[in-house]
Structure 1
Amino acid sequence: MPRRALDNPIVPAVLGLLLESDAHPHRLLADLRERSAHHAAAVNRGTLYNTVAAMAEAGWVAALGQERAGNRPERTVYRITAAGRAELVRRLDEQIRTPEREFWSFLGAVAHLGALGPDGAADALAERARRLRERTADDERRLAEALAAGVPRLFVIEAEYALDLARTETAWVESLVEEIRTGTLAWPSAPADRGRQDGPDGD
């Protein structure tokens, strides 16, 4: 199994789930998608199965046996090992201690916001703020339901973090929209048409 499978960012999440309880990959995939919108978008069945196989080869998880539910195929149940627990602790400690500048598509888009023009930028940002508010309200509802159902707060602490980030982003975006629409954010004049300057008739 390629070593790069062990570098997959879902490794700590999978080890963390197995720390809570033994599980087969199908259950792990469902739990990852249920708990995190990021994982729901990033994880597919093939990636997860390859990652679990690589972790088993590395000795971080161990197969306990087969489990069958109804007419479904047998599924291998895995348990985290002492080596897996140590690896989880090592990775979590490093990730929590070390802030990283991760690439964020929105940050890249904001860097070229001027290309939209003031009206286009304000409209696009206002739409983003609206969608953020809707998503945040839905995430708040789901978090409240989880806590009301007795899920320990420590198990959903990442949801609180994500909500705080979303609220902060929404406030910043709405403030920027207001600045654009009131003219308090200076907007440079549109650059000259480069096609006219650099076309076949240009110097």
Structure 2
Amino acid sequence: MSATKLLVLGIVHLSGGAHGYQVRSELQSWRAEIWAKINPGSVYHALKKAAADGLLTEQAEPGKSGPERILYRVTARGRDEMVELVRDGLRRTHDADMLNAAIAMLPMLTRTDAIAQVNERVARLEAELVEQATWREHPNPESPEHVREQAELWAGQARTELEWAKSLSERLSEGAYTMADDPGSWRTGPRSPQPAF
């Protein structure tokens, strides 16, 4: 749910306000159902829940040729929650959906903040790799030997992710992407969101 919440808040915010159908269409154009496992029904549920939690406001508008529509806008509390979700997604390991959502909303952070969160992910991955290496060198003799294969797979994935995270930190340090504290960022007004996939 956190990945869906983050993407819904982010798209509503970047749009300057959006209807549920607009949010769903944007996420479909980003193919979020693949990399964040978001289905259309969860988008509407996330919008309603975020509004109930005070993260979004709801404003009824007459439909052009049908029923009334709801226009959602992000509240100050919703912006704070969105930024914290991006931070959490960047530093938390073992949650690919949340990482993908955080990457999609990466420009919500200042450059310094984004680098700090990515560097925390790097430190966590390095520590996990040390722990995995120890486990692989001294496995529990009662564990089936084929379980060790899973550990090899995880270690390979972690090494690849570690290399990617270090590279992202470098690119951000070199000025890649328009971040929240850069001219032309989301803080200076609504922009069209750019898909990360």
Greater relative contact order (Cα < 8 A, sep 6+): 2
What TM bracket, shorter-length normalisation?
0.3 to 0.5
TM, length-normalised to structure 2: 0.46
